[in-house]
Structure 1
């Protein structure tokens, strides 16, 4: 398939164009492929599609303007690094780029906006993402970083810790505690708004979770003239993924639509699963027992139609044209569970970007 010119203008035009029209899924579609989701062939209303593309284009325009202004007025960028922008494009990103996660989209957006609008928060915002691998936990963390900081995950104000990579040996937990506390303190001294992402949170040693307590507890008010520090902690975990999938499956089989599933259906079971888990110390840590985690956010298992949308986005991100048949073929490469229903992608959207290489000339 032909590659388009690699320029921002081309990407914006591509976002505004409707998807190539083909015969759609035909008789090969799975029972729940229902293309009622935006982007599916033959059922995506033109107005809705145009509106979502305009939102995405607007978010991209703001990013390119920020990059351009940094080249022309570099002194402004240094100031922005100290006081990062609020997530003006986060809503558009979550709506257009995140598929099948209506709960995560609403909860993350509401929590981030509410926290950043506080004049002087007395506590760090702590969000805990739970769900199967490939459902979008890291994706949302990256989107949040991209909308809060000009350099996204590469910003000096953003730190990512992966349990098995940065803290692999339990015998060195005392050293890890010192290093983690020092890194948090150093980052907060450099930035007035910080973001810390802890991946594989269920594998963090209890001692490391205890070391985070002072940074998540409520703080006494300081000098009212001092600049307010704002800190966000994101904990990413597969813990609770099975119970989330079980609840969603039962509700769908009972006739509920995916979008009707609310936190009242998931929150009690998810928190119980986290607290009762014997494979992880996360649920028994002070962070959970002392309610230092503000929101436990469930990421739902992804269906066939969501995998197709991820494949479409992978083509667009590389500025490649695609066909509906190609999206179907990529979606069919995934393994679907449970064995009888074959409703949920066992890997979510993981590895989709690599699979489109099979369809390049």
Structure 2
């Protein structure tokens, strides 16, 4: 059996392209069973260089990059910049002692950055980002049939089981939760609760994100009251100003979290508000999009050409669709 170990090592240099097959074959015989103390390092530096691996040394991929992106690429969301990175970093720092997965909801109207930040998180956790086989995205429009609620519940639960079975560090993102039928998440409440080791599967190392437009209108009203009526600057508003509004709003409105056991059982760790955007934030989005298409020098005229196509509320001055519709407008200007 000792000959097998040296045979594998000698083949690494001349036959690197078939290394994965060799290592797979060696796994059958069982390197661990041979007591080969360097097998984990070989696995990380060979197979995992070519293929995506679920390994604590590789996940998260680059968590510090998340803070940098939040600081430089996200506009008008000071609460997210202050709180989100800490929540995720803490999850990974204490992951071996964790009693439950990290569960968060993102609330806000369209174009405020919910999906954008979810993508940032995926890129910080996995080398392949949203293309990772450990990243699982659920679109609300795929689960919007009320008559099939029980079927949807079983499907979601099974996909989570399968995902965690492949990788305990999986990321599950539920987009457009407001389009899903009430009760659709009741079957997964136990998976997200404390001591969530179920049927031999450990859910405590995973992250669950729920994205919804619910709460957007209520947060817009509160933000306007705090700034226009009470004299607070936008950047002085805090998470506690919006937390209860988000929780109550999503619990009472039609959608996947209406009367949800996720809220009743208090398994959601953080409710994050994505506030409506004002003209300075939209301007930052426009400049960023111009830079993305290769225009490093952006004039005020170029900005104004796009700004004139964006609708703003006449009273609150908040953009109707945030930064969501900016990309195609900038692209038109870039290539005109």
In the aligned structure 1, how far is the partner of 2:196 from the partner of 2:219?
37
Measure the CA separation in 1 of the matches of 2:203 and 2:252: 37
- Where does residue 135 of structure 2 map in the other structure? 158
Give every structure 1 segment of 4 or more consecutive aligned residues whose post-TM-superposition deviation is greater than 6 Å: none
Structure 1 contact 115–125 (Cα < 8 Å) conserved: yes
Matched with 2:11 is none
Give the match for residue 110 of structure 1. 86
1:1-361 → structure 2 map (5 Å cutoff): 75-76=48-49, 78=51, 80-83=53-56, 84=59, 85-118=61-94, 119-164=96-141, 166-219=142-195, 230-254=205-229, 255-277=231-253, 279-280=254-255, 282-321=257-296, 322-337=298-313, 339-341=314-316, 343-359=317-333, 360-361=335-336
* Deviations 1:123-156 (CA, angstroms, capped at 9, x unpaired): 1111000011100000000000011111111101
Judge conservation of contact 1:124–1:232 (CA < 8 Å) in 2. yes
- Higher relative contact order structure (alpha carbons within 8 Å, sequence separation ≥ 6): 1
Q: Secondary structure at the match of 1:333?
A: coil
Normalising by structure 1, what TM-score? 0.73
Question: 2:137 is paired with a residue of what secondary structure?
Answer: strand
Task: Report the Cα distance in structure 2 between the residues aligned to 1:128 and 1:228, rounded to whole angstroms.
Answer: 18
How many residues in Structure 1 have an aligned counterpart in Structure 2?
283
1:296 is paired with a residue whose SS is: strand
Instruction: Note closer, same or farther for the CA distance 1:237–1:323 as it changes in structure 2 (3 Å cut).
Output: same
Quote the Cα distance in structure 1 between the aligned partners of 2:203 and 2:211: 26
SS at match of 2:97: coil
Q: How far does residue 270 in structure 1 lie from its aligned partner after superposition?
A: 2.8
SS of 2:210's partner is strand
**What is the CA deviation profile of residues 180-217 of structure 1, one whole-angstrom value per residue up to 9, with x for unaligned ones?**
12211111111131100001112322342112212211
Change (3 A) 1:228 1:180: closer
Q: 1:220 to 1:256 in 2, by over 3 A?
A: closer
- Partner Cα separation in structure 2 for residue 179 and residue 227 of structure 1: 19
Instruction: Give the direction of change, closer, same or farther, for the CA distance of 1:353–1:275 in structure 2 (3 Å limit).
Output: same
User: How big is each residue's C-alpha offset from its partner over 1:222-248, in whole Å with a ceiling of 9 and x where there is no partner?
Assistant: 9xxx99951100000011111100011
Cα drift, residue 121 of structure 1: 1.4
Report the Cα distance in structure 1 between the residues aligned to 2:197 and 2:252, rounded to whole angstroms: 36
Rg larger in structure = 2
Contact 1:196/1:234 (<8 A) preserved: yes
Q: Report the Cα distance in structure 1 between the residues aligned to 2:50 and 2:195, rounded to whole angstroms.
A: 30
Equivalent residues of 1:82, 1:192 under 8 A apart? no
